[in-house]
Amino acid sequence: MGTVRDDEEDSLTSEHALPAPAHPGGVAGSPPTAGARRAFLAAAVRRPGQIGAVFPSSPRLAGLLASVVPSRGTPIVVELGPGSGSVSAPIASRLPAGGRHLAVELDPALAAYLRRSRPGMEVVEGDARELTSLLAAREASRVDAVISGLPWSLFGRADQKAILDQVSAVIGDDGAFTTFAYTHTLAMGSARRFRRMLLESFDEVVITRTIWRNLPPAYAYVCRRPRP
């Protein structure tokens, strides 16, 4: 896979884009349960300025995001903004025995829901802008992958950069970072700024094909090797 160049910025796919998962339901996982949908919708109503969608990620998109999770060894994987856990399921499915799955969730009600519904996951109630401190407190200063469900287009420049700096610090040269964006937000200034910021922050940025079966349609960024 190669680095996405600045002159490719306006394309939804790159020459080296990752394929979408072949299985119609994604790499792993299943459609969100009724309880998960209720929890997600309640959070969207409670915090409309911080929840970027009214539907959880589809199994296909969730599987694509989780595809960077190592399936061997004892990896540490961090999920940012897990919401009701739609991406948590395929992460858990790929994670080998002995691996750790930490989920950083800002919303207290969603954090409580995740603790009840996913007992094998370490739920950390906190702010992604303080990721290094949150992980250090749990003896996880360096991780193998960070998978984000955060609504980047709703964040200002300072918050976008602060979180990306934290992600870069914890994945180091060997880890991977994945996140997604909705196709309809690409024209937004904050979304375009975020894409430029990714290109400036990582040596490799791969943009996948669009997942049309997601609601709304979305694509993923796969990033490696933070720039100094």
28, 93 Cβ separation under 8 angstroms: yes
The two structure tokens encoding residue 132? 């290094």
pLDDT tens digits, residue range 12-70? 333 333 433 333 233 334 455 554 444 444 444 445 444 445 467 899 999 999 999 99
Output the CATH code of domain 6-226.
Answer: 3.40.50.150
Query: Which residues, at least 6 apart from 136, have a Cβ–Cβ distance to it below 8 Å?
Result: none
List C-alpha distances in Å: 183 to 114, 203, 219. 28, 23, 7
The two structure tokens encoding residue 32? 């969100």
Residue 147 has pLDDT above 90, yes or no: yes
The mean pLDDT of 129-141, rounded to a whole number, is 97
Q: What percent of the chain has pLDDT over 90?
A: 69
DSSP state of 183: G
Note the pLDDT of residue 56: 79
Whether pTM exceeds 0.85? no
pLDDT tens digits, residue range 99-123? 999 999 999 999 999 999 999 999 9
Peptide bond into 24 cis (omega under 30): no
Helix (H, G, I), strand (E, B) or coil at 141: coil
Q: How far apart are CA 161 and CA 163, in angstroms?
A: 5
Environment class of 155 (CB within 10 Å of its CB; exposed 0-12, middle 13-18, buried 19+): buried
Note the pLDDT of residue 170: 98
Nearest residue to 225 (alpha-carbon basis) of 177, 186, 161, 192: 177
Note the pLDDT of residue 33: 54
Residue 148 has pLDDT above 90, yes or no: yes
Note the pLDDT of residue 195: 96
Which residue has 């603790």 as its token pair? 115
149, 81 Cβ separation under 8 angstroms: yes
Handedness of CA 202, 111, 144, 13 (dihedral sign): negative
